[in-house]
Amino acid sequence: MEAASASVTTADHEHHGPPPANRSSRVEAQTLGMLLFIISEIMVFGAFFTAYFFIRVVKGDHWFPFHGDVLPVAVAGVNTAILLSSSLTMHWAQTSIKHDNRFGLKAGILSTFLLGLTFLFVQVNEYVHVGFSPRDHAQGTIFYGLTGLHGAHVFIGLTLLAMVTVRSFRGHYSSKEHRGVEVPGIYWHFVDAMWIIVYSSVYVL
C-alpha cells in the first residue's frame, strides 16, 4: 500500500508545467499552418482578380492590344511550361526523400530552384521589353499588379527552395523526417497553380 502511494506521489512530482496540448486536427501543425497561409494568400489574389475583372467589364473589348501595346503571349506560354515543369521536379524531390533516395531529392530540388529562377528571369525580362508601364493606363496597372504579385510569391518560394537545397546537400532529410521538404513543396505547388489562373486570365482571355 505504501509502495503504491509512493509511486503515485513520484509520478505527480515528475510532471511539471501545463498538460500536453490537445491536437484536434490530424494534420501536422506545420502543414496546417502552411495551408492556412495559402488560404490567406488566395484572398489577396482574389482582391487583385476582382480589380482585373472590373476593368475588363468597364473597358469592354479594350483590353490588349491597347494603344499599340501587345502582351507577349507566346513568351508567357513558354514561361508557363517552365514553371509547370518545376512542379514535376518538386514532386520528384518529395517522392524521393520519402523513399530515402537522396540523389533524387538533391536533383529534384535543385532542378526546381533553377526552373523557378529561370521563370522569374524571363518575367523580369518581359517587363523590360513589354513597352508600357503601370502608369500608362488601367490595363497596365492591373497587368503589373497581378503578374508582379505572383512574381513576389515566386521570389518567396525561391528563398524557401534555396534553404531546402542547402539542407538537402547537407543530408538533413530522411524518410522519417521530411516536413522541411514537404511544407515548402505545398507552397510551390500553390504558386504554380496560381500562375495557371493568372496566365489564363491575363494573357489568354
Rg (CA), the chain: 24
Per the CB < 8 A criterion, the answer to whether 181 and 97 are in contact is: yes
The number of beta carbons lying within 10 Å of the beta carbon of residue 115 is 21
- From start to end of the chain, where are the E strands? none
**pLDDT tens-digit readout, 8-25:** 444 455 556 666 555 555
Contact (Cβ atoms closer than 8 angstroms) between residue 160 and residue 125: no
**Domain boundaries of the chain, sorted by first residue:** 28-60+72-204
For residue range 83-124, what is the model confidence (pLDDT) as tens digits? 999 999 999 999 999 999 999 999 999 999 999 999 999 999
Spatial contact of 172 and 180, defined as CB atoms under 8 Å apart = yes
Torsion of CA 51, 53, 57, 59, to 10 degrees: 60
**Phi-psi region at 71: left, alpha or beta (left = phi > 0; alpha = psi -120 to 50):** beta
CATH for 28-60+72-204, options being 3.60.15.10, 3.30.465.10, 1.10.8.80, 1.20.120.80:
1.20.120.80
> How far apart (Å, rounded) are the C-alpha atoms in residues 199 and 148?
12
User: Model-level pTM?
Assistant: 0.82
Spatial distance between the Cα atoms of 53 and 132, rounded to a whole number of angstroms: 20
* Beta-carbon contacts of residue 10 (< 8 Å; ≥ 6 apart): none
**What pLDDT does 1 receive?**
46
For range 26-38, the mean pLDDT: 84
Grid coordinates belonging to 119: 521563370
